[in-house]
A = this chain, B = another copy of it.
Amino acid sequence: MSGNIYQQGLGKNAANFVPLSPLSFIERTASVYPRRTSVIHGQRQFTWSETYARCRRLASALVAHGVKRGDTVALMLPNVPPMFEAHFGVPMAGAVLNTLNTRLDPEAVAFMLQHGEAKVLITDPEFAAIIRPALDLLEGDKPLIIDALDDEYPGTDRVGTLLYEDFLAGGNPDYPWSLPADEWDAIALNYTSGTTGNPKGVVYHHRGAYLNAASNIISWGMPQHAVYLWTLPMFHCNGWCFPWTMAANAGVNVCLRKVDPALIFELIRREKVSHICGAPIVYGMLINAPEQLRAGIEHSVAGLIAGAAPPAAIIEGAERVGFDITHVYGLTETYGPASVCAKHPEWDELPIDRRAERNGRQGVRYHMQEGLTVMDPQTMQEVPADGETMGELMFRGNLVMKGYLKNEKATQEAFAGGWFHTGDLGVLQPDGYVKIKDRSKDVIISGGENISSLEVEEVLYRHPAVLTAAVVARPDEKWGEVPAAYIEVKDGAGVTADDIVAHCREHLARFKVPKHIEFCVLPKTSTGKIQKFALREMAKSASATE
């Protein structure tokens, strides 16, 4: 016998060890709360017992159609019940869930289907016009196509020959699915937006999905039976793992095909929505929506915000219209949020603007993440917590992806030195909270000085006429780069470039004041992130033609 006394005869067995998987949560909730509402979509409503049975039908039908353990099942769906069900039914079949960004073009979709080797694709009529040419681009066997029609959408354009409801009808509602053999097994594949080069396929495992689903509850303080409105696309990092969170807390999923402030406020009022998540752009739309849309809503709604570094002004504005905002941060590679700007009760006594500033930081690791810090990526030394020394934000722990699919080089680079490199630049503040200053590629270097585009944007957002703002580098003969600002103004607001410059001069060192100001509609990704690479192109051309 070797080792200490605790290493003898105390091994794992079926009674004391079970792989962690978020699939356990839906089994529990369907059994404990079978008659509680699980999913609401327009006129349709399901109970947890019904949703669980539909997930099992889906799993068994996938297996009957030849899907095997480790096969990929792709989804091109808005936030509709089949999308929620796929988060359980696909892994119950042992397969891997690959949700596709519904705003992609056919080429990008084709790349993902090919690279992920999807065996099945479930799709919505709204995207038939993208899927059809994407399929034409595929080499080799095409995936099995299942069309999920939706009563809440007028179109019925189909790509395949199978209908989702028929597919389910052929499945077994009591299908005896099993947990993964290993909690390290893949549960999901999520492609990064890939602003340069091909997108990378981020692979999640069951263990991480389970822990992040639980961490969402603990780190947010989310109660059982929360009513959650799907303002966040489920295709985005699996809706930050919230499908699994909602199964754990036996809550209500209120579906939403698209972000429409009138509909959102109506659903908040009617369904007594208690929780939402979203990018700053979503909150921006809600803040700036006509006040009468909010009439009759008497309760406060808890809101998680992330997706891009949110300006404090957005947090402040959201609080003013009745959202209790918690700021989180993460990336596709960290299952969505893996850090939270954990609040301190004493912040409640601060004026709203100072509180928003505190809340606007990326904060500290999630309860079930192990590490978040800022390091010099060359030396892998933590920067001093002085709020000034810049470094790269790094994560470590169980809420970090398995790696990039079929891309060992990128995987190794991402994990160099035993930490996940986010590519975001920031500082450690004296209280240990992390604050992003910029994406490494977004820093503007002007006359040898670094300018944080975020810092300039923060100032722009404080101007009352500004709805959305983005600052990028513009090539400049004298300075190397200068800041250029792109601004969307609020409806009916009158403002000139000179006004903006004057406002910036009040709050910024002169070298940080934008040298070029343009009023326009900003290019955005599906999740509301501003596409800075597009703006950089605009800035370059503007510079060249001047």
Q: Please report A residues at the B interface, Cβ cutoff 8 Å.
A: 3-18, 20, 24-25, 28, 31-33, 68-72, 96, 117, 184-186, 189, 203, 214, 217-218, 221, 223-225, 248-249, 342, 344-345, 364-365, 367-368, 370, 395-398, 400-403, 405-408, 411, 414-415, 418-420, 432
Taking a contact as CB atoms under 8 Å apart, the answer to whether A70 and B9 are in contact is: no
Instruction: For the complex, give the distance between the alpha carbons of A68 and B7 in Å.
Output: 14
Of B8, B218, B402, the residue contacting A214 (CB under 8 A) is B218
CB contacts (< 8 Å) of A72 on chain B: these are 5
Known contacts A9-B403, A14-B419, A16-B402; 18 further A-B pairs (Cβ under 8 A): A5-B117, A6-B186, A10-B411, A13-B415, A16-B403, A16-B415, A17-B398, A18-B396, A20-B398, A25-B367, A28-B364, A31-B364, A32-B342, A214-B218, A217-B217, A218-B218, A218-B249, A248-B367
Chain B, Cβ-Cβ closest to A96: B6
Taking a contact as CB atoms under 8 Å apart, the answer to whether A367 and B28 are in contact is: yes
Taking a contact as CB atoms under 8 Å apart, the answer to whether A71 and B4 are in contact is: yes
How far is the CB of A154 from the nearest CB of chain B, in Å?
37
How far is the CB of A411 from the nearest CB of chain B, in Å?
6
CB contacts (< 8 Å) of A17 on chain B: these are 398
CB contacts (< 8 Å) of A96 on chain B: these are 6
Taking a contact as CB atoms under 8 Å apart, the answer to whether A5 and B70 are in contact is: yes
Taking a contact as CB atoms under 8 Å apart, the answer to whether A32 and B364 are in contact is: yes
Q: List 6 A-B contacts (CB under 8 A).
A: A6-B70, A6-B189, A10-B186, A13-B418, A214-B214, A218-B248
Instruction: For the complex, give the distance between the alpha carbons of A398 and B403 in Å.
Output: 26
CB contacts (< 8 Å) of A25 on chain B: these are 367
Chain B, Cβ-Cβ closest to A334: B16
Chain B, Cβ-Cβ closest to A207: B17
CB contacts (< 8 Å) of A14 on chain B: these are 396, 415, 418-419
CB contacts (< 8 Å) of A10 on chain B: these are 186, 203, 402-403, 405, 411
Instruction: For the complex, give the distance between the alpha carbons of A20 and B215 in Å.
Output: 13
CB contacts (< 8 Å) of A432 on chain B: these are 31-32
